[in-house]
Amino acid sequence: MSTKITMIDYGASNIRSALKAFEHLGADIELTNRPEAVANATKLVLPGVGAFGSGMAALHRLNLVAPIQDAVARGIPLLGICVGMQFLFDSSDEMGHYEGLGVIPGHVTRFVPNGLKIPHMGWNQIHHAAEDHWLLNRVPSDSYVYFVHSYHCIPDQPHSTISSTEYGIRFSAVVAHQNVFGIQFHPEKSQKHGLQMLQNYIDYRSA
């Protein structure tokens, strides 16, 4: 039986679709904005769309930042999805400079257009650097997944990127750092491969 998953609700517009994807997979999942529920969680998910600064402001307003950081420090698994992945990093330069959760060393920056349309929107391939990572189980390298974003994450430690994508540059599509994981694309819109990654997280047993 899978571990109960706590999904953090700070008002992002895609939270319900992410919740429905986990429910479709049969996950034991609760949606909450209560700091005490986050503090007592055994597995966390942080989804998101929209602007980095306003999202982090909402997390601070709801007093969720410290419980998330404390849970990570205690070894609780945390999965960030889309902008939720970007929140995991130290900072972002989206429309200013904003501090993130700081649970993965690195920063978030805007794509340089180089003749390409921004945001990066649509289906693109992911290329695995770590074929044997459990989060990528049964998701072949070169699988197509669905992206919508204008900013990308740059981990301080290159090995934190376990799968990448090419869009003008090679950027991090999936990251893993200790007990913290991130998916930049929309798994709930990425058909079987995206749902497989969510299933892998549902099935994950931390040490």
DSSP-assigned letters across all residues of 70-132: HHHHTT--EEEETHHHHHTEEEE-TTS-EE---SEEEEEEEPP-TTS-SSEEEEEE-EES-TT
Closest by CA position to 196, among listed 17, 1, 24:
24
pLDDT 10s digits, 67-112: 999 999 999 999 999 999 999 999 999 888 999 999 999 999 999 9
pLDDT at 207: 57
1, pLDDT greater than 60: no
Q: Count of domains in the chain?
A: 1
45, pLDDT greater than 70: yes
Which residues belong to the active site? 82, 186, 188
d(CA 155, CA 15): 25
129: Cβ–Cβ under 8 A, 6 or more apart, which residues?
A: 159, 161, 162, 163, 164
pLDDT 10s digits, 163-187: 999 999 999 999 999 999 999 999 9
pLDDT at 204: 94
pLDDT at 2: 61
Backbone angles phi, psi at 39, to 5 degrees: -60, -30
Give the predicted TM-score (pTM) of the model: 0.95
192, pLDDT greater than 60: yes
Domain span at 176: 5-203
CB distance 146 to 190 below 8 Å: yes
- Average pLDDT value for residue range 130-142: 91
- Average pLDDT value for residue range 120-134: 92
d(CA 200, CA 126): 17
pLDDT at 15: 85
DSSP state of 170: E
- Average pLDDT value for residue range 42-58: 92
Return the CATH number at 21: 3.40.50.880
CB distance 1 to 25 below 8 Å: no
Q: Token match 């700070």: residue?
A: 10
Residue with the larger pLDDT of the pair 70 and 205: 70
Count of all residues that appear for the chain in the document: 207
Which helix (H) or strand (E) segment holds residue 147: the answer is: strand 144-149
39, pLDDT greater than 80: yes
pLDDT at 14: 72
CB distance 135 to 174 below 8 Å: yes
- Average pLDDT value for residue range 113-138: 92
